[in-house]
């Protein structure tokens, strides 16, 4: 057997339907109608149940009726609406009175009479019509007071609509509806909107703080933490104090946002050349530059074949701070074998890998070895 197809709902859905007796209105069949929940108040909820002639709902609690039962706008008179033209809001004392039953509840609207004067229909209030009826003769053709008949109901209804549209009921002036504010203020939709508003306000506060950061009254004044660190590091040698100070400042930054000083890179480079394994272990204990950072640091140092003038100047500056004993040194000459390899250097615009004797003296042979000179102090 083929599975039964699911029934497609009409636009607007059919779950919302009227709970009145002999009424089949629903949101799907009548999308222009408004549907109102039963009041949460016990007294008013019972009045609605009695008015709609539903004996099966008499034993239900107001909470159940509020959650599951609704009445459409066709069961309310125009005077029960805050806005009679749209009919989507009831006043706080609204009661249903229009039902298709044998003994409907009495009408709650004001009874109106119509005055016919010179064959013209003019609406008037009940008291005024009754007064005019008593003062004027009954056989006069100029003024006749009759009960509202079917042909004049449309005219009276239009007049009632205009009256209620222009005059605000003092009982509903504050805009209250049929349900209590405690229930309508905590609906799931309103709770979700409140959370969204709160999160947006928090984001606005954070952005304002970024735009207007709090400035210190005296930027030159150090904090208590900085003064304590400086006092502790003053007891250490300068090189060690600078290293620890750099470690403290780098610890509070992310790995990709760390910037190392040239002194830190020089220390790390000497450690790496001493032992690669030891440098790997120390990198786990301290914040040190990575191998790629050290390679970039070395690549910035200009190195050429031959005797470099920059190296000679560096040695000269270092010798100025040496005593006579430290100036005694040894000169070592070492030959290093090289792997044959040729490549084109774009910045220098030349081929690297050929024999180069310095000062622009080059040959067309591929270099296989290099001669290194090393000067080292004896002391």
The residues that bridge with 113 in the sheet, in sequence order, are 124
Compute the Cα dihedral for 350, 351, 357, 362 and give only its sign.
negative
Q: Read off the tokens for 203.
A: 């984001």
- Cβ proximity of 310 and 360 under 8 Å: no
Q: Indicate the Cα dihedral angle 150, 156, 161, 165, nearest 10°.
A: -170
Element spanning 264, H or E: helix 262-274
Q: Please, are residues 355 and 347 in contact by the beta-carbon 8 Å criterion?
A: no
SS3 of 375, please?
A: strand
Alpha helix locations (H) across 286-357?
A: 291-299, 309-319
CA distance 156 to 129: 14
State how far the Cα of 247 lies from the Cα of 241, in Å rounded to an integer: 10
Supply the pLDDT for residue 183: 56
- According to DSSP, the β-strands at 329-337 and 120-124 are unpaired
3-class DSSP state of 172:
helix
H or E segment at 31? none
- Reported pTM: 0.33
DSSP state of 112: -
Q: Which two tokens stand for residue 343?
A: 């490549």
Q: Which two tokens stand for residue 31?
A: 């999308």
> Tokens in use for 273?
């050349």
Place of tokens 């003024």: 143
pLDDT at residue 170, as a whole number:
39
Specify the residue for token string 């003994």. 103
Helix (H, G, I), strand (E, B) or coil at 19: coil
CA distance 291 to 155: 94
- Residue labelled with tokens 């290093």: 336
**Polymer length of the chain:** 379
Using alpha carbons only, what angle is made at residue 188 by residues 184 and 191, rounded to the nearest 5 degrees? Answer: 85
Contact present, 98 and 21 (Cβ < 8 Å): no
Q: Which residues of 232-248 are buried (b: 16+ CB within 10 A; e: fewer)?
A: ebeeeeeeebbbeebee
**Residue-by-residue pLDDT tens, the chain, 379 positions:** 444 444 444 444 457 889 888 888 888 888 888 899 999 888 888 888 888 888 888 888 999 999 999 999 888 888 888 888 888 888 888 889 888 876 667 665 544 444 444 444 444 444 444 444 444 444 434 434 344 344 445 554 555 455 444 434 434 444 445 555 555 667 788 888 999 999 999 999 888 888 876 554 455 566 787 888 888 888 888 888 888 888 888 888 888 888 898 888 888 988 898 888 999 999 899 999 988 888 888 877 767 777 777 788 888 888 888 888 888 888 888 888 888 888 888 877 888 888 888 777 888 888 888 888 888 888 7
Residue 336 pairs in a beta bridge with 370
């Amino acid at each position: 057997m083929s599975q039964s197809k699911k029934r497609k709902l009409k636009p607007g859905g059919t779950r919302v339907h009227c709970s009145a007796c002999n009424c089949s209105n629903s949101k799907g069949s009548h999308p222009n109608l408004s549907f109102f929940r039963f009041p949460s108040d016990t007294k008013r909820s019972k009045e609605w149940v009695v008015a709609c002639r539903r004996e099966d709902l008499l034993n239900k609690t107001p909470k159940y009726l509020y959650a599951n039962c609704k009445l459409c706008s066709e069961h309310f008179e125009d005077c029960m609406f805050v806005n009679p033209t749209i009919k989507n809001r009831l006043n706080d004392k609204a009661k249903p009175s229009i039902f298709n039953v044998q003994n409907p509840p009495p009408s709650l609207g004001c009874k109106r009479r119509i005055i016919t004067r010179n064959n013209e229909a003019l609406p008037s209030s009940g008291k005024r019509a009754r007064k005019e009826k008593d003062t004027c003769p009954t056989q006069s053709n100029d003024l006749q007071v009759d009960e509202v008949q079917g042909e004049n109901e449309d005219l009276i209804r239009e007049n009632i609509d205009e009256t209620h549209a222009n005059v605000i009921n003092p009982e509903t002036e504050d805009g209250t509806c049929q349900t209590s504010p405690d229930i309508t203020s905590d609906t799931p939709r309103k709770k979700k909107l409140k959370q969204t508003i709160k999160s947006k306000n928090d984001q606005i506060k954070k952005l304002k703080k970024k735009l207007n950061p709090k400035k210190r009254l005296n930027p030159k004044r150090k904090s208590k933490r900085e003064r304590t660190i400086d006092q502790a590091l003053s007891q250490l040698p300068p090189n060690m104090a600078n290293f620890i100070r750099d470690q403290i400042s780098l610890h509070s930054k992310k790995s990709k946002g760390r910037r190392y000083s040239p002194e830190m890179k020089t220390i790390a480079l000497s450690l790496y050349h001493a032992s690669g394994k030891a440098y790997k272990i120390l990198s786990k204990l301290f914040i040190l530059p990575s191998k790629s950072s050290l390679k970039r640091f070395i690549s910035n140092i200009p190195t050429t074949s031959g005797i470099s003038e920059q190296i000679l100047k560096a040695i000269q500056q270092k010798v100025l701070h040496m005593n006579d004993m430290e100036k005694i040194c040894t000169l070592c000459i070492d030959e290093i074998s090289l792997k044959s390899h040729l490549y084109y250097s774009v910045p220098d615009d030349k081929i690297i890998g050929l024999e180069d004797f310095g000062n622009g003296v080059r040959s067309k042979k591929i270099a296989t070895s290099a001669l290194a000179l090393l000067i080292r102090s004896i002391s």
